């Protein structure tokens, strides 16, 4: 009876130390698997910086930002959105700081509606922003 109780206590202790996430153990953060917009682009004027800054985070499947990475991220205009021939300035590539890239000098030269940005980084699936407009 005492042995069975000790076995149950040991199993309970091991179970408490485990985590159901991919990482397996409490305190072990699963690796980065994606990039995500944490601040979407907003409407702006042509040639003027988009404000507030667009922010992209490098995250794991749980949505936790992986602060140990400095992977570079690039933003481009999604083909077929906005105005044909528009040029995006300030889209990098920019290295992440603590897992986040702040695109503070991002601007588009031509007015238009339905613009989307595509964030990309080596080793991660690309992700598109929500739509926004650029006014004259």
- Percent of the chain beyond pLDDT 70? 80
Mean pLDDT (whole number) for 12-36: 63
pLDDT at 65: 97
53 and 35 part of one domain? yes
Do both 5 and 48 map to the same domain?
A: no
Same domain flag for 67 and 104:
yes
70 band by pLDDT with thresholds 50, 70 and 90: very high
Structure token pair of residue 25: 């153990």
Number of domains in the chain: 2
Two tokens, residue 52: 């507030």
Which tokens sit at 74? 């690039």
CATH code, domain carrying 55: 2.60.40.10
Q: Is the pLDDT of residue 31 over 80?
A: yes
Same domain, 114 and 92: yes
Same domain, yes or no, for 15 and 81?
no
| 26 has a pLDDT exceeding 70 | no
pLDDT in tens, 110-130: 999 999 999 999 999 999 999
State the pTM of this model: 0.79
Indicate whether 95 and 109 sit together in one domain.
yes
Is the same domain home to 56 and 97? Answer: yes
End-to-end CA gap in the chain = 81
Per-residue pLDDT tens for 86-112? 999 999 999 999 999 999 999 999 999
Question: Within this chain, do residues 50 and 8 fall inside the same structural domain, yes or no?
Answer: no
Q: 42-67, pLDDT tens digit by residue?
A: 999 999 999 999 999 999 999 999 99
DSSP string over 62-125: T--B-TT---EEEEEEPTTSSSTT--EES---EE-BTTEEEETT-EESS-EEEE-EEEE-TTS-
Q: Are residues 97 and 44 in the same domain?
A: yes
Residues 17 and 39 in one domain: no
> Could you tell me if 41 and 108 lie in one domain?
yes
Supply the range of the domain harboring residue 89. 31-135
């Amino acid at each position: 009876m005492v042995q069975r109780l000790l076995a149950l206590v040991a199993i309970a202790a091991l179970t408490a130390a485990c985590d159901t996430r991919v990482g397996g153990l409490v305190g072990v953060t699963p690796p980065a698997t994606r990039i995500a917009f944490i601040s979407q682009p907003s409407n702006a004027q042509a040639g003027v910086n988009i404000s507030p800054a667009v922010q992209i985070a490098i995250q794991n499947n749980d949505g936790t930002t992986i602060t140990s990475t400095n992977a570079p991220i690039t933003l481009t205009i999604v083909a077929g959105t906005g105005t044909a021939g528009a040029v995006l300035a300030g889209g990098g590539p920019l290295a992440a700081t603590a897992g986040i890239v702040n695109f503070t000098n991002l601007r588009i030269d031509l007015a238009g509606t339905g613009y989307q940005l595509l964030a990309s980084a080596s080793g991660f699936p690309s992700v598109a922003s929500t739509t926004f407009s650029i006014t004259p």
